[in-house]
Chain A
Amino acid sequence: MKMRNLLAASVCVLALGSNVATAETFKWAFQGDVQSLDPHGLNETFTLGYLGNVYEGLTAYDQDLQLQPALAESWENTSPTTWVFKLRQGVKFHDGSDFTADDVIFSWKRSLTDGSDMKGYGAKMADIKKIDDHTVELVTPAPNPILPRELVFLYMMDQGWSEKHGASEATSPKAADSTATYAAQNANGTGPFILTERQPDVRSKFTRFDDYWQDIPTNVTEVEFTPVSQDATRVAALISGELDLVYPIPVQDWTRLEEAEGVRPLTGPEARTIFLGMDQWRDELLYSSVKGKNPLKDKRVREAMAHAIDLNAIDEKIMRGAAVPAGILIAPEINGFDAAMNTPYDYNLEKSKQLLAEAGYPDGFELGMDCPNNRYVNDEKICQAVVGLLARAGIKVDLNAQPKSKYFAKVSPQNDNDTSFYLLGWTPGTIDVHNVLFNLMSSFDTEVNSGQFNYGRYSNPRIDAITQEVEKETDITKRQALIAEAFSILREDVGYLPLHQQPLSWGVREGVTVAQRADNVLDLRSVVIEK
């Protein structure tokens, strides 16, 4: 009898499987799963991108990373520090309740609770006042020209749902009991897809939300997401036809996808810039043959390194020509980018040797380098190439490449930036240049939290001043001039050695069209499956 029940159940499952196949089911895989479904739980690109199909903010990015209205229809900067946002009417959450001004205020307050990782965005507002059910006034602590951008990833939750399930506070990674993590395992947003099933690390299923407020291109009705951690398995699963889209694809597998039938690689420049940083604050380097002084404090040495690194060679040999050599720390997709500043340092080995000789190192010196080996596209290989290129100029680099968890633990400010020379990649979460000025180019300062990712602690007081001005400057032309000044100072100082924009690397099945966003986010709204 029991056996018969099981058989019946398996027949059901089989029948279900065949039903799903007739609907438009989209199956995709990424290398890992999200840590939490809590929209305020983790400020990380993949998590926020994944949740962006379920939850939404007041504003959003389109496929070219241009700012669009989302849950807010329009907004207006009524005084330097106040903004009035008109909310979209008739928007419903997946559980059927209406989206109103109260939900905006609730979500904002929630983003400031203890467990939240979105405090940085929440803190951009000093207060939110309800004008009526569909109008709110946002008060900022200081003038903020990019406020609408800072709201993109501040997702809106339903107050009623959250309170009913004891989820009024953001789930902290250290939450001890399961009631406090309801929002981490369940979701209720306004987005185009409803999360119907989730087994962490195994599978998530989504269904199209019929009451979604806008028309979107996608014809997908069911979505199945699976994390597949091994590159080789992920690629095989795509080629075998089991999946419609997978990413990331290792760069060296592109030709394989091109040759295989029914699939193709989907590539383009990512908004992430890869660069090298140098210790410019210690009086003696931690990892170098030079004792008693810090050769990297000498601008001529940094310049020599800049001219010794052949970006085109790295692009061709390591990145298969898919990277875009960079002259500054931001990509063209980032708000504030200026093409005039993006010319890389020219490759000139003679000049490099000459500069080293002038600085007093005619025979070069030894230098230790830190590099992650599982964080960016071909990160370790890039570092190996840099080692080879610098060796030609006489700088003997000793490479220490390790997994990201160990790498970041070593080079982070919590560990006193234990590095002399390192590779890092950066996409500003706000898709705006200020984030880069503040985190990478400003002096390291624990009071205002600036320069947290300035691991080499490059410091120029003028850039610090400009960063503060850029934050408040609402006049676009003046702001752009300030940005240009900051980048030309950085270039003159050779504060960083930009390498390239790394390529996006997805693989799709023929017959699937999808917009590939430069921030490496898969927006299911754009997925169309040909019949």
Chain B
Amino acid sequence: MIGGPRRVAQEVPRGAEMFKFVSMRLFQSIIVMLVVGLIAFGLFRFVGDPVNNMVGQDTTLEEREALTESLGLNDPFIVQYGRFVGKAVQGDFGMSYRLRQPVSDLIAERFPATLELSLVSAFMALLLGVPMGIYTALKPKSLFSRGFMTLSLMGVSLPTFLIGILLILFFGVTLRWLPTFGRGEVIQLGWWSSGFFTASGLKSLIMPAITLAIFQMTLIVRLVRAEMLEVLRTDYIKFAHARGLSPRLINFSIALRNTLVPVITIIGLQVGSIIAFAIITESVFQWPGMGLLFIQAVSEVDIPVMAAYLLLIAFVFVVINLIVDILYFVVDPRLRVQS
């Protein structure tokens, strides 16, 4: 089997080095999360007054003041932050101001919805984006390629909100094929609620998944195309042609393989942003995931939910980055030499 220059002989790193590297990264990750939390708490003061949303209009000033005091909202934000961290390390993220339930329960309830949506749209983006990218690289002048590239330009430039509403109007209101909002019926598998096993759940999933996938897909099309074009220009491809190998073997076995290394790295990172940027899609489709929970928390100044969500997203990014870093460490021998 012929391998490109990017393929590196995989040598298992020595245990001690690996341990040092990972523990260093873990330590840095904790610092990142602490800083995210600190910035978040610094900003919460500017979001508004939560107490006004928690009491009725006839509630007296004294009672409002007492509630503000008992929630600790009069303390400097550093103190509030410290209290939050102190409880968070024990697994207690407090009670939602708006829904009056433990935040950890709320997030556990919403997490499956967001993850199912994110995974489906990530798969959609991959399954459509990679072939389209390859095609546009191999036949850059064909009519289809131009069509794909125009579409991908639209995908990048149209706001998610607009795409979602257009889909709703066409498939939901005009054709009435698909439900306009919500997640349909779900089935409980232990604590995990899944929409994969009911007809209404699957139908509900289609439009939000497409909306969320479009931006990622266009990104993948453009990335695969650019990488592929670059690989096709390299000497080893020319050499392979010179050797008389079939174009099919060259394109798919050699060129594509070398293209996918950077693509996979980027896609890994994109999974994090799909989860984080599901906010808009979720609020357009009233999809009961974490993004919707967060956006409503912002409008009602639900500080415990905002804090927990931001930390969770920071955690997701930190973990993905850590995995990517470890992969680099495995793949790239130069890193090991330096450390």
A-to-B contact residues, CB < 8 Å: 6-7, 9-10, 13-14, 17, 32-33, 35-36, 41-44, 117, 119-120, 171, 173-176, 178, 181, 184-185, 199-203, 226-230, 232-234, 236-237, 239-242, 374, 403-409, 412-415, 426, 429, 435, 439, 446, 449, 452-453
Contacts and interface: CB of A to CB of B under 8 A. Distances in A.
13 contacts: A6-B187, A13-B185, A32-B296, A173-B55, A173-B95, A185-B101, A202-B288, A233-B168, A234-B181, A237-B180, A242-B180, A406-B49, A452-B61
Most buried by A among B60, B62, B200, B283: B60
Given A228-B181, A449-B61, A453-B57, A10 B197 contact: yes
Interface in B102-137: 102, 105-106, 109
Contact of B54 (A42, A181, A227, A374): A42
B292 interface: yes
Contacts of A452: 60-61
A200 B55 contact: no
B285 A233 contact: yes
A226 B101 contact: no
Nearest to A413: B61
Contacts of B64: 414
B48 to A, nearest CB: 3
Contact of B199 (A10, A181, A403, A414): A10
Contacts of A32: 296
Given A202-B182, A233-B284, A236-B172, A405 B60 contact: no
Contact of B284 (A230, A412, A449): A230
A44 B56 contact: yes
Given A236-B173, A409-B52, A201 B288 contact: yes
Contacts of B59: 43, 117, 119-120
Contact of A429 (B57, B183, B296): B57
B136 to A, nearest CB: 34
A384 B201 CA distance: 44
A409 B55 contact: no
B294 to A, nearest CB: 12
Contacts of B235: none
A414 B49 contact: yes
Nearest to A444: B61
B50 A405 contact: yes
Given A17-B200, A405-B299, A181 B47 contact: no
A6 B192 CA distance: 13
A265 B165 CA distance: 21
B99 A199 contact: no
A43 B292 contact: no
Given A35-B54, A36-B100, A449-B60, A405 B187 contact: no
A408 B169 contact: no
A7 B57 CA distance: 50
Contacts of A44: 56-57
A406 B44 CA distance: 11
A185 B106 CA distance: 13
A346 B49 CA distance: 37
Contact of A17 (B58, B65, B185, B301): B185
Nearest to B185: A13
A233 B301 CA distance: 23
Interface of B: 47-65, 67-68, 70-71, 95, 97-102, 105-106, 109, 165, 168-169, 172-173, 176, 179-183, 185, 187, 189, 197-200, 283-286, 288, 292-293, 295-296, 299-301
Contacts of A228: 181, 286
Nearest to A426: B57
A171 B100 contact: yes
Contacts of A119: 59, 63
Given A232-B165, A236-B173, A405-B47, A35 B57 contact: no
Given A228-B181, A240-B176, A173 B198 contact: no
Given A174-B70, A229-B292, A405-B47, 20 more contacts: A9-B197, A10-B197, A14-B198, A35-B98, A173-B95, A174-B71, A178-B102, A178-B105, A184-B101, A201-B99, A202-B288, A203-B182, A236-B165, A236-B180, A240-B172, A240-B176, A408-B49, A414-B65, A446-B61, A449-B61
Nearest to B53: A405
Given A44-B57, A429-B56, A10 B187 contact: yes
A199 B112 CA distance: 14
A43 B182 contact: no
Contacts of B61: 413-414, 446, 449, 452
B87 to A, nearest CB: 10
B283 A229 contact: yes
Given A117-B55, A181-B100, A233-B285, A226 B182 contact: yes
A426 B168 CA distance: 35
A34 B214 CA distance: 34
B101 A233 contact: no
Nearest to B65: A414
Q: Which 5 A-B pairs have the closest CB atoms?
A: A43-B56, A405-B48, A409-B49, A406-B48, A202-B288
Contacts of A184: 100-101
B288 A35 contact: no
A117 B56 contact: yes
Given A229-B296, A236-B168, A242-B179, A405 B49 contact: yes
A374 B165 CA distance: 20
Contacts of B185: 13, 17
Contacts of A429: 56-58
Contacts of B295: 229
Nearest to A11: B198
Contacts of B284: 230, 232-233
A321 B76 CA distance: 48
Nearest to B98: A35
A200 B99 contact: yes
Nearest to B45: A409
Contacts of B106: 200
Nearest to B295: A229
A199 B95 contact: no
Nearest to B183: A202
Contacts of A240: 172-173, 176, 179-180
Contacts of B299: 374, 403, 405
Contacts of B198: 10, 13-14
Contacts of A41: 100
Given A7-B197, A201-B292, A414-B68, A13 B187 contact: yes
Nearest to A228: B286
B47 A201 contact: no
A285 to B, nearest CB: 23
Contact of A405 (B67, B102, B285, B300): B300
Contacts of A409: 48-49, 52
A7 B48 CA distance: 47
A415 B172 CA distance: 46
Contacts of B296: 32, 201, 229
B54 A236 contact: no
A268 B317 CA distance: 50
Contacts of A404: 48, 52
B99 A226 contact: no
Contacts of A232: 165, 168, 284
B23 to A, nearest CB: 35
A408 B64 CA distance: 13
A230 B97 CA distance: 21
Contacts of B60: 120, 449, 452
Contact of A176 (B58, B95, B168, B169): B95
A468 to B, nearest CB: 17
Nearest to A453: B57
A275 to B, nearest CB: 15
